[in-house]
Chains A and B, each alone.
Chain A
């Protein structure tokens, strides 16, 4: 609210209440917030602090926990499986992000235009985003069947490419998962880009046309600079989501073959629920959290520098 000088002084601001009312207002405000805060406390913050605590202990249900200091962190940092899982996560996150961004932008440029004609194309293309990951992953697992009867291999067969092993080989498993993630991520990025394209000033294009600028320089000097904020939004979202990939990998390969597609989260899950190394798994979770935080802050800092 802004009070202008023109306003008569005796009128109070609309949101102001008498003091007793304001105290009551505060109580009411906290009361309305209570359900959300209690649920957050129980299922977000207590687990978070519990995880931090556990990461410094050798956690043994029924025997009592034993303080081990930074041992859990040392264990995971020196563990080859953990280090390679970090690399796989980073590779998957970067590959998926870049792939989805580039494809999403290209498609957005192609189908920009009056929505009347294109609503069907947009709706159809957007479907992968809203579909249940677990079910989609099962479908892709079947499509990726390594033999020459697999769907994707049949399609490759039409253009005379030999059947690929996809998920069944150490060399291609991670790339195959990335393929599915890009398929699911591209339409989302496309929609955000489309929303950004709508906001570009048409007169700029008009001026470019008058100057006889080529399509490439239109893109380079008008469209891409205007989309810069959108890029940063998508990068930030990718940073928050990227490293925590779990369901795709768990369903498609469960980290195999031979650990070639093991990511951070599948490894943490195995440590925690299959090998009962709860302390080490918790430490892994904290490392994942710190990495996510660092990545997000880094993206924001780059954004600031760009803007400056």
Chain B
């Protein structure tokens, strides 16, 4: 008798139970990955029919990807990479700096700052979309116009409460004695930070990196507001305009959708452990 699961299924052995389990798992995998596998297969298939989309390869071809070039798909992909590259770099630097203060310092106004962080997490960006578009068109005090610029898509994702809080939780774990020792050895603030704290936070950097990547790559409303000109479109918002093509049907759309999907899937598979750990800890902490 086994007691290691709620249903106690482990206790049931025999060919019937095993077959049942394998059947359940197969259906699960099929349902959750089916659409994605179908996309993968169809993107490399020759297809003219705007409705055909199947799990069976038709006739292998790279045509969809070559024709996608004429529709600027690779320009949109490039834009996406520019935004995610610079955006993630900025986000990680900002998160690490802010976390250092919140985790290692005691100062007046700390509670207030933590409240601000939580407030931003409670405030979905959808709510501020309309005023944000006006703010981006004319930044207060600076009077710069960020509409149709990369900066307009990069700066707003630079600070992310979730990322800061995950990093803060992690940095609190670093023993205070190490910091003390560094100070006694005469290391300054920056040096302590870069040589003691940061190297010990490597695992957390992976976690906020993969979460940040997914979050920025999945941005939709922000590029929709910022990029009026198609030359600044990112791949996710460009998909809608690729819906059907007289000559190639949905081939280009499928190729572009696959290109839009792959980076986040690869990021997830590469950093799976950090992702899962961050997911459960982040969710439990709200």
Given A139-B38, A143-B53, A192-B283, residue A133 in contact with residue B218 (CB < 8 A): yes
Partner of B32, one of A50, A135, A150, A183: A183
Could you tell me the distance in whole angstroms from the C-beta of A204 to the nearest C-beta in chain B?
Answer: 9
- Bound CA–CA A302/B148 (angstroms): 45
- Bound CA–CA A47/B139 (angstroms): 10
- In the assembled complex, A7 has its CB within 8 A of some CB on chain B: no
> Does A127 lie within 8 Å of B101, measured CB to CB?
no
> Does A28 lie within 8 Å of B189, measured CB to CB?
yes
- In the assembled complex, A85 has its CB within 8 A of some CB on chain B: no
> Does B97 lie within 8 Å of A33, measured CB to CB?
yes
Which of A73-81, A90-98, A168-176, A277-285 is the contact stretch?
A277-285
- Bound CA–CA A51/B10 (angstroms): 56
- In the assembled complex, A211 has its CB within 8 A of some CB on chain B: no
Given A135-B236, A149-B49, A293-B122, residue A51 in contact with residue B35 (CB < 8 A): no
- Bound CA–CA A26/B180 (angstroms): 17
- In the assembled complex, B284 has its CB within 8 A of some CB on chain A: yes
Given A42-B135, A42-B155, residue A278 in contact with residue B130 (CB < 8 A): yes
Contact residues in A for B129 (Cβ distance below 8 Å): 265, 268-269, 272, 285
> Does A47 lie within 8 Å of B128, measured CB to CB?
yes
- Bound CA–CA A46/B260 (angstroms): 32
> Does A218 lie within 8 Å of B8, measured CB to CB?
yes
Which of B65-73, B201-209, B265-273 is the contact stretch?
B265-273
Contact residues in A for B1 (Cβ distance below 8 Å): 209
Main secondary structure of the interface of A (DSSP, over half): helix
Smallest Cβ-Cβ distance to B281: which chain A residue: A195
- In the assembled complex, A29 has its CB within 8 A of some CB on chain B: yes
- Bound CA–CA A299/B169 (angstroms): 25
- In the assembled complex, B286 has its CB within 8 A of some CB on chain A: yes
Partner of B8, one of A37, A139, A205: A205
Main secondary structure of the interface of B (DSSP, over half): helix
- In the assembled complex, B253 has its CB within 8 A of some CB on chain A: yes
> Does B3 lie within 8 Å of A205, measured CB to CB?
yes
Contact residues in A for B286 (Cβ distance below 8 Å): 233, 236-237
Contact residues in B for A39 (Cβ distance below 8 Å): 94, 155-156, 158-159
Partner of B98, one of A36, A126, A127, A138: A36
Smallest Cβ-Cβ distance to A233: which chain B residue: B283
Contact residues in B for A136 (Cβ distance below 8 Å): 35, 261
> Does A191 lie within 8 Å of B280, measured CB to CB?
yes
Contact residues in B for A110 (Cβ distance below 8 Å): 7, 9, 24, 28
Q: Which residues of A in the span 82-119 have a Cβ within 8 Å of any Cβ on B?
A: 107, 109-114, 118
> Does B140 lie within 8 Å of A46, measured CB to CB?
yes
Given A134-B220, A138-B239, residue A240 in contact with residue B124 (CB < 8 A): yes
Given A121-B28, A191-B280, residue A251 in contact with residue B126 (CB < 8 A): no
- In the assembled complex, A187 has its CB within 8 A of some CB on chain B: yes
- In the assembled complex, B143 has its CB within 8 A of some CB on chain A: no
Given A40-B159, A135-B257, A139-B39, residue A215 in contact with residue B8 (CB < 8 A): yes
- In the assembled complex, B17 has its CB within 8 A of some CB on chain A: no
Contact residues in B for A236 (Cβ distance below 8 Å): 286
> Does A32 lie within 8 Å of B131, measured CB to CB?
no
- Bound CA–CA A200/B7 (angstroms): 13
Contact residues in B for A130 (Cβ distance below 8 Å): 214, 264-265, 267-268, 275
> Does A138 lie within 8 Å of B52, measured CB to CB?
no
Contact residues in B for A123 (Cβ distance below 8 Å): 269, 272
* Interface pairs (19), CB distance under 8 Å: A25-B105, A29-B110, A33-B98, A39-B156, A39-B159, A42-B155, A43-B158, A54-B134, A110-B7, A112-B5, A113-B10, A121-B28, A127-B265, A135-B258, A138-B239, A143-B53, A205-B6, A246-B220, A296-B122
Instruction: Apart from A43-B156, A135-B239, list 10 A-B contacts with CB within 8 A.
Output: A30-B101, A33-B101, A42-B135, A50-B135, A113-B10, A121-B25, A138-B239, A241-B124, A272-B130, A286-B127
